[in-house]
Structure 1
Amino acid sequence: MAPQIKYTKLFIDNEWVDAKSGKTFETYTPHDGSVIAKVAEGDKADIDLAVAAAKRAFHRNSEWRQLDASQRGEILRKFADLVERDAKYLAELESYNNGSVLNFASLFLGSFIKTIRYAASCADKLHGDTLAADGEVFSYTLKQPVGVCGLILPWNAPAGMFLNKVCTALAAGCTVVVK
């Protein structure tokens, strides 16, 4: 039985929105070729909106950038709890979407939950070093988020790659746009 599809719109600036063009496209399950859902078909206009929203979220005075690294880690831990809570549904969805065996999807999802928790534990440990230098020189490295990260997901493991890529970028303090 097919899992219920809860979201078919684009997620931009913390809102589920239709594509600017209004276009949708059908996705199919490899299990039997049936239609899974009609989803919003994003194009350049939608990408521009998503990038602009991610840039605003990355701005130094934004709510996201004002979070301490430990707060980012806490948000990711809560996210891991939610993924764990909904793991059965997410594994069914992943299996239905890409044709993987359900047990395989469940196993992978369990490892991805661990990856989220690992990323959460790293959030407040990303810091620079003071380096030994000759003469009257003070030398150090400083690790800072790079900005908006554009992330492209593969067809064969979209949920897992989403969790791996997004959570590590967020732990580092970056913002993301995902295709």
Structure 2
Amino acid sequence: MIEDKELQAEIGKHLMQPENYGKLEDASCVGVGIDHSTKSYVIMYIKRDDKNILDVMFGTNGTQDTTTLGSIFTGMIKGESVESAQEIAEELNKDLQESYAAIPAPKVDLSKPEGEQVEHISTEHQDSANMVLTAFNAAMRHYERSEGGIEEEQYEMSIVKTCPYSTTECHFVTKASQED
């Protein structure tokens, strides 16, 4: 119970006063995670060397959820070794995939008119976390490409949703015709 209260307090802190928000001018890698279905993105600026994350900042045009999650994640990896930061991201990605998988199938109500038969399933929380983690992975990829001699301003990756119900538009079930 105490852990839940501590977690809620930590989330509330990041919600009210996000940390590491803004542009890092001397970033060594920049990654963008984009959700094309909503046109939302997270851009992550990372200053690193071969072994450590020296500084990290992020920006977004997403929801307050996205800002809060970006603040929490960047706080987790700032000052960590690159290896440790990648392990943190990998663990969070596993949790994210489990969260997508746990979303129940939408309810279908055939008594409603066509186009209103399927309830909307929101994956906003998962998609926000997905954009943050994708931006981190894109930044790491940008660094690798830069080290390999490829010059580019940033590296962009689209998020991949692993839940069949996470699309913005529902696929509606056609009302069965009744035979007389």
TM-score if structure 1 supplies the norm length?
Answer: 0.27
TM-score if structure 2 supplies the norm length?
Answer: 0.26
